[in-house]
């Protein structure tokens, strides 16, 4: 069953949104919207949208109380709050103006907010990657991971073997503020991606036949984002802190005009192909950006052995007349404008088609996320402590309904066999349709071809997802909490090298080596006092090559410990012998 997804791209000067009807395999774009971001001075007097609604509701309640009691009521006093960024008001205005209805919201953060690393790992299991990622990153990143939010996506097999994993690291405080600002606009996104990675999704949609090495260049207000692709596979993401605002400032200074007038002049009259003062100033202002673009192209050549031969430009900054010719001449590559909207897509504004084609790439990719060609793109910053709460509630409801639906499906399938033996083909088809409808109510958007097998598989997937939320042992520990306690428990004066970790809902086993037997005893004593660890057993410790190797078993529940104790106390059967 199709549902409505709203993809939002929050820019510095305007907010772009795409509303689409999404089913299991198809995406039908229903509408596109654009709302300018108001200037800070225009919204300085306004309350955050959601707070304004609350105060208006309080005023109505007080008025009703006054009417009922016949006494004057007090006016609600707005609580002092930090003024949100102007885009919050723009987003709220967009939603209110068009009265949009949707089931999900997908959006992205700017590339400049994220530090990206590419790793090669020997496996692609997401749970195992979550366990080892902190250890892989601690020697790579220069900041404290405790204050960072880490998300990743498996991009596919690496040419040298193993799997290529893209890791995105963002300060937790930034994610918290971003989600808080969205909440002030009345939006709770199910998915939060990264704009340059969303542009890779847009390229996958719009350039399926492009087999060479190319780059998408998104010219924004303050940043220029680059997405490097080779033969359909992502190479790298870059964000350069230069954009249209830099050109406006230099043009305003050169012509002694204000920045708004300079921007208007740049967008309506400037042409880099002509020989006048405006074009000369803009060409000179673009030189630092051209230098950085050359460095990126040279880096692709030296790091990946790939020659970038084509640039696809997009964003409002790309509309500067003559920019494509300047890039082609200075960088020695082919330059084309990126087409973000499929033919026939509805556009709810009167702007030129070239402007619309330059602006909707990221928002369009967001509504396609997880569907069709982008079904394997699973990067989402709404994980861990920023987990989408409605999804957890939906999982619990899905598990409860799945049990009831399972009984119904099994009964219907049994009756289906009887009906088939009685040659009641018409009634058989009606029952099959009914099974599919019941299945779709439990798992919307996934039409079944083999209902029973797919139902069992869906229950297994749901249970696996539910377990990743937490619930190890008897203390509602998450897997990451157990790994964290183990890491923090080891005294700092002991040098320990953990070689292997096995973790189940009831038992933690790990192996490693240290310098002395006393260190092993210290580790055992510390682990025994940790919350959630029911019992600690040292399975072995031995000296090997001037190191002491050890193995520990930590029981997370009394059930596992009781089973182990029962096995040890089980009496051995006596052997009876007979003599003649």
Q: Which residues, 6 or more positions from 555, have their beta carbon under 8 angstroms from its beta carbon?
A: 506, 507, 533, 534, 535, 536, 537, 561, 564
The pLDDT tens digits along the chain (580 residues) read: 578 999 999 999 999 999 999 987 789 999 999 999 999 888 888 877 766 555 455 445 545 554 554 444 443 433 445 678 999 999 999 999 999 999 999 999 999 999 999 999 999 999 999 999 999 998 888 888 899 999 999 999 988 889 999 999 999 999 999 999 999 999 999 999 999 999 999 999 999 888 899 999 999 999 999 999 999 999 999 999 999 999 999 999 999 999 999 999 999 999 999 999 999 999 999 999 999 999 999 999 999 999 999 999 999 899 999 999 999 999 999 999 999 888 778 887 778 888 888 889 999 999 998 888 888 899 999 988 898 877 555 555 556 666 677 777 877 777 776 666 666 677 667 777 777 777 777 777 667 777 667 767 777 776 665 554 455 556 566 677 777 777 888 888 888 888 888 888 788 888 999 989 988 888 888 888 887 778 888 888 888 888 899 999 988 777 555 555 555 444 544 444 443 3
- With beta carbons less than 8 A apart as the criterion, state whether 35 and 78 touch: no
The predicted structure's pLDDT at residue 336: 95
What is the biggest distance separating any 2 CA atoms in the chain, rounded to whole angstroms? 121
* Percent of the chain that is helix, strand, coil (3-state, to 5): 45, 25, 30
For domain 479-568, the CATH superfamily is General secretion pathway protein M, EpsM (3.30.1360.100)
Q: How far apart are CA 536 and CA 519, in angstroms?
A: 15
Which segments of 332-450 does DSSP mark as H helices, in order? 353-359, 361-368, 389-421, 425-442
Q: How far apart are CA 222 and CA 314, in angstroms?
A: 14
Virtual CA dihedral for 445, 460, 503, 191, nearest 10 degrees? 10
Q: How far apart are CA 234 and CA 157, in angstroms?
A: 12
The predicted structure's pLDDT at residue 35: 94
The predicted structure's pLDDT at residue 574: 44
Q: Quote the Cα angle for 509-513-517, to 5°.
A: 105
Which segments of 44-113 does DSSP mark as H helices, in order? 49-69, 86-98
Q: How far apart are CA 350 and CA 166, in angstroms?
A: 39
Which segments of 99-146 does DSSP mark as H helices, in order? 126-137
The predicted structure's pLDDT at residue 273: 94
Which residues on adjacent β-strands are paired with residue 16?
9, 34
The predicted structure's pLDDT at residue 113: 93
- Tell which residue, 376, 378, 362, has the closest CA to residue 109: 362
Q: Give the pair of three-digit tokens for residue 392.
A: 């957890």
- Tell which residue, 176, 245, 230, has the closest CA to residue 12: 245
Q: How far apart are CA 231 and CA 75, in angstroms?
A: 64
Helix/strand/coil for 38: coil
Q: Quote the Cα angle for 457-556-151, to 5°.
A: 55
The predicted structure's pLDDT at residue 459: 75
Tokens 């924004």 found at:
220
Question: What is the arrangement of strands in the sheet containing 224-230, beginning at the earlier edge strand?
Answer: 233-240, 224-230, 213-219, 310-314, 334-337
Tokens 């929050």 found at:
10
Output the CA–CA distances (angstroms, integers) from residue 8 to 69, 194, 322, in the order listed.
46, 12, 29
- With beta carbons less than 8 A apart as the criterion, state whether 229 and 200 touch: yes
Which residues on adjacent β-strands are paired with residue 240?
224
Q: How far apart are CA 451 and CA 457, in angstroms?
A: 10
The predicted structure's pLDDT at residue 353: 85
- With beta carbons less than 8 A apart as the criterion, state whether 285 and 247 touch: yes
The predicted structure's pLDDT at residue 403: 67
Domain 108-173+189-381 falls under CATH 3.40.50.620? no
Q: How far apart are CA 475 and CA 464, in angstroms?
A: 19
Neighbours of 468 (CB within 10 A): 16
Write a three-state SS string for 218-285. Answer: EECCCCEEEEEEECCEEEEEEEECCCHHHHHHHHHHHHCCCHHHHHHHHHHCCECCCCCHHHHHHHHH
- With beta carbons less than 8 A apart as the criterion, state whether 136 and 119 touch: yes
Q: Does an H or E element contain 314, and which?
A: strand 310-314
DSSP letter assigned to residue 371: S
- Tell which residue, 121, 129, 140, 178, has the closest CA to residue 381: 178
Helix/strand/coil for 308: coil
- Tell which residue, 172, 16, 174, has the closest CA to residue 106: 16
Rg of the chain in Å (alpha carbons): 30
Tokens 């007097």 found at:
45
Q: How far apart are CA 570 and CA 572, in angstroms?
A: 6
Q: How far apart are CA 535 and CA 524, in angstroms?
A: 10
């Amino acid at each position: 069953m199709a549902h409505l997804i709203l993809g939002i791209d929050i820019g510095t000067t305007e907010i772009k949104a795409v509303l689409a009807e999404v089913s299991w395999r198809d995406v039908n774009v229903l509408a596109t919207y654009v709302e300018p971001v108001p200037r800070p001075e225009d919204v300085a007097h306004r309350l955050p949208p959601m707070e304004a609604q609350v105060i208006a509701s309080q005023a109505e309640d007080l008025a009703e109380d006054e009417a009922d009691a016949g006494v004057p009521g007090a006016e609600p006093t707005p609580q002092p709050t930090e003024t949100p960024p102007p885009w919050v008001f723009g987003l709220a205005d967009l939603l209110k103006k068009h009265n949009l209805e949707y089931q999900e919201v997908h959006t992205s953060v700017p590339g400049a907010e994220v530090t990206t690393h590419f790793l090669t790992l020997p496996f692609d299991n997401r749970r195992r990657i979550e366990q080892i990622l902190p250890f892989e990153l601690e020697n790579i990143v220069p900041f404290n991971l405790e204050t960072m939010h880490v998300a990743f996506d498996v991009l596919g097999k690496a040419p040298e073997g193993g799997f290529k994993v893209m890791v995105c690291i963002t300060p937790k405080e930034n994610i918290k503020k971003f989600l808080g600002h969205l909440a002030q606009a009345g939006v709770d996104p199910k998915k939060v991606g990264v704009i340059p990675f969303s542009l890779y999704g847009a390229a996958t949609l719009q350039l399926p036949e492009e087999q060479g090495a190319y780059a998408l260049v998104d010219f924004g207000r303050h940043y220029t984002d680059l997405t490097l692709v080779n033969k359909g596979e992502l190479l790298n993401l870059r964000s350069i802190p230069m954009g249209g605002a830099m050109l406006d400032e230099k043009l305003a200074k050169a012509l002694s005009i204000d920045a708004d007038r300079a921007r208007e002049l740049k967008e309506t009259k400037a042409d880099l192909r002509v020989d006048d003062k405006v074009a000369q100033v803009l060409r000179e202002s673009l030189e630092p950006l051209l230098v950085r673009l050359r460095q990126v192209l040279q880096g692709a050549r030296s790091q990946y052995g790939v020659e970038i031969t084509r640039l696809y430009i997009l964003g409002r900054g790309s509309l500067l007349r003559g920019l494509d010719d300047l890039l082609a001449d200075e960088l020695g590559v082919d330059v084309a404008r990126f087409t973000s909207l499929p033919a026939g897509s509805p556009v709810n504004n009167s702007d030129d088609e070239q402007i619309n084609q330059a602006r909707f790439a990221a928002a369009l990719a967001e509504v396609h996320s997880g569907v069709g060609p982008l079904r394997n793109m699973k990067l989402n910053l709404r994980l861990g402590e920023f987990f989408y709460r409605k999804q957890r509630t939906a999982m619990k409801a899905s598990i409860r309904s799945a049990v009831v639906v399972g009984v119904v499906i099994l009964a219907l399938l049994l009756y289906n066999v009887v009906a088939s033996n009685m040659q009641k083909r018409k009634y058989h088809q009606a029952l099959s349709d009914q099974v599919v409808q019941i299945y779709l109510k439990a798992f919307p958007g996934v039409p079944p071809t083999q209902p029973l097998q797919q139902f069992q598989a869906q229950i297994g997937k749901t249970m696996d997802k539910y377990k990743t939320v937490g619930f190890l042992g008897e203390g509602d520990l998450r897997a990451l909490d157990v790994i964290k306690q183990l890491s923090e428990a080891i005294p700092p004066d002991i040098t320990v090298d953990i070689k292997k970790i096995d973790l189940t809902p009831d038992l933690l086993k790990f192996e490693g080596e240290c310098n002395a037997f006393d260190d092993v005893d210290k580790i055992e004593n510390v682990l025994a006092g940790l919350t959630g660890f029911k019992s600690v057993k040292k399975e072995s410790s031995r000296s090997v090559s001037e190191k002491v190797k050890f193995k520990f078993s930590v029981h997370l529940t009394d059930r596992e410990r009781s089973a182990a104790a029962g096995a040890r106390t089980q009496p051995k059967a006596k052997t009876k012998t007979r003599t003649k």
